[in-house]
Amino acid sequence: MSARIDQKRNFLFFLNEIYPVHVDDCLTGALVSPSSWEAVAQRVESSRQKDVFARSIDKVHLYVHVPFCERLCSFCHCSRVLLRQRSDIDAYIKDLARQMTILSPAYQGMDAGLIQFGGGTPSILDERQLSAILDGVDKSFPSRNRQIQFEANPSSWSASKLALLSSRGLYRLSIGVQTLDEKILKYVSRPQTRKKVLGCLRLAQKAGIPQVNVDLMAGLPGQTVEGFIHDLKDVISEGMDFINIQPYTSLSWQLLCGPGETIPAFFNRRDAMMKMAKEVLAQAGFTRKGFWGIYSRQEEVDDPQEEVYTHLQAALAAFGPFARGLFPGAVFYRAGTVRPGAVNTQVESCAQDLDYTMSHYAVLALINGLDEQAFLKRFRVSIDRHCGEGLRYLQESGLVAFSKGIWKFSGKWEIRRIREYFALSRALFGKGLLSRLRERFVNGYDPRHDYSSGNSLLKAYADSTLMVVYYRMGC
């Protein structure tokens, strides 16, 4: 960069420092303001009535966030709170019902056949509470063929919960194993035993659930490459068809490394685990599927997150504290935090227009190839008319190339290049939105500071979401 800072480039790097990867966090997430569930519903209804693109979305995925945990794992980046008393869960369920009652009319006529439970710890719910939530879903979003995707912690999982969910349409069960080494589990505050974990896996296999996924983590403090691979082979031997390998990142640098380990040694150890895991899984007949690092022995694997966020083919109606919902071309919203013992009614939202939606699509599509004809068919607007100036800016920067109607990221997927792509691709969002963001961060952005330099490589390398992209590209 020249002595005189390029302010356009510099501001885009500034945005990336604040919100490294997530498109919605970086843009609409930065512009949300206090709202109401009624206002969110009105925006969805209005867009479906007026906008051709919004009407083309005929599917809505449901997401229920369960924030409560019995203990807080040291590695978890999810929105969660320590459960103080069981009555807090009952208050939370009442608020879920209220949110669904308000939002459901706006999604009338849309296919709502998929519901995901995430957390937090969804399996902390007892059978009565699970039934109450599912009954509320069936009332507000009726569906003949409901599919349930559920995240379970072995320490709070049981045969009776499995039987209940199976009777209501359990399709995919994700079991948070992380590691089978009980010493490491104790170190990261994970309340489970090897015996309990293996019992959960065998119980799920016996129940005949269509998809059973095991989450494993590479690079935990004190974890050796040999121990990690041994855990992986044990899981494979239990007959699992889905295994999700996530690179360990901590909420603090102090908890990142094992005893006496340096940061470079940690990265080398974790990278060795990821590389060997890929080889072991390939030998066992697994291939990587989708964006989130899931390996599977099945040919076709649906990824609801890609359908919503990458392809913009479905809406996401999200409920519960911390939940984030999205209707492409209409609204982005996020629910408020937990208020123990009280019904939580807080929500923030930001309207999305078609320009934003097209830019969102373009930023993510560029990774694998942005087809001009496919864009025109999807949005009825040419890519050049919408963000041609921004694409040429990325082309001049050496980040994208154009060939035979396809725009695509060019060059090797190195950490610096990945970070630069996510920073400079914000140019596709146009002058209007970037101006609003400048106003939003007027007290935080220093035009004299060069945001593309300094310690950014280490920050980017430590960011867990960016690491998902990094390992997906096979670097």
First to last CA, the chain: 27
pLDDT at 461: 55
* 167 contact partners, CB below 8 Å, separation of at least 6: none
**Per-position b or e across 271-302, b if 16+ CB within 10 A of its CB:** bbbbebbbebbeeeebebbbbebbbbbeeebe
Nearest partner of 471 among 214, 317, 270, 188, judged by Cα: 270
Q: Which CATH number fits domain 58-309: 3.40.50.880, 3.40.50.300, 3.90.25.10, 3.80.30.20?
A: 3.80.30.20
**Cis before 120? omega within 30:** yes
One-letter identity of residue 446: D
Cα 44 to chain center, whole Å?
22
Could you give the 3-state DSSP secondary structure of residue 344? coil
* 404 contact partners, CB below 8 Å, separation of at least 6: none
Distance CA 443, CA 164 (A): 52
Residues of each domain in the chain carrying CATH 3.80.30.20 = 58-309
pLDDT at 2: 47
pLDDT at 474: 47
Burial category of 336 from C-beta neighbours within 10 Å (exposed 0-12, middle 13-18, buried 19 and up): middle
Distance CA 394, CA 428 (A): 9
For each of the chain's 475 residues, which pLDDT tens digit applies?
445 788 989 999 888 877 766 667 667 888 899 999 999 999 999 999 998 899 999 999 999 999 888 877 777 667 777 677 888 888 889 889 999 999 999 999 999 999 999 988 999 999 999 999 999 999 999 998 999 999 999 989 999 999 999 999 999 999 999 999 999 988 888 888 899 999 999 999 999 999 999 999 999 999 999 999 999 999 999 998 899 998 887 766 677 788 888 888 988 899 899 999 999 999 999 998 765 668 998 776 677 778 888 889 999 999 988 889 999 999 999 988 766 555 567 899 999 889 999 999 999 899 889 999 999 999 999 999 999 999 999 999 999 999 999 999 997 777 778 778 888 999 999 888 899 899 988 889 999 988 887 555 556 555 555 655 655 554 4
- Are residues 256 and 263 in contact, defined by beta-carbon separation less than 8 angstroms? yes
Could you give the 3-state DSSP secondary structure of residue 321? coil
The pTM is what? Answer: 0.89
Distance CA 109, CA 233 (A): 45
pLDDT at 162: 96
Beta strands in 49-169 (DSSP E): 59-66, 68-69, 81-82, 111-119, 147-152
Beta strands in 37-169 (DSSP E): 59-66, 68-69, 81-82, 111-119, 147-152
pLDDT at 293: 67
CA dihedral sign, ordered 254, 257, 261, 263: negative
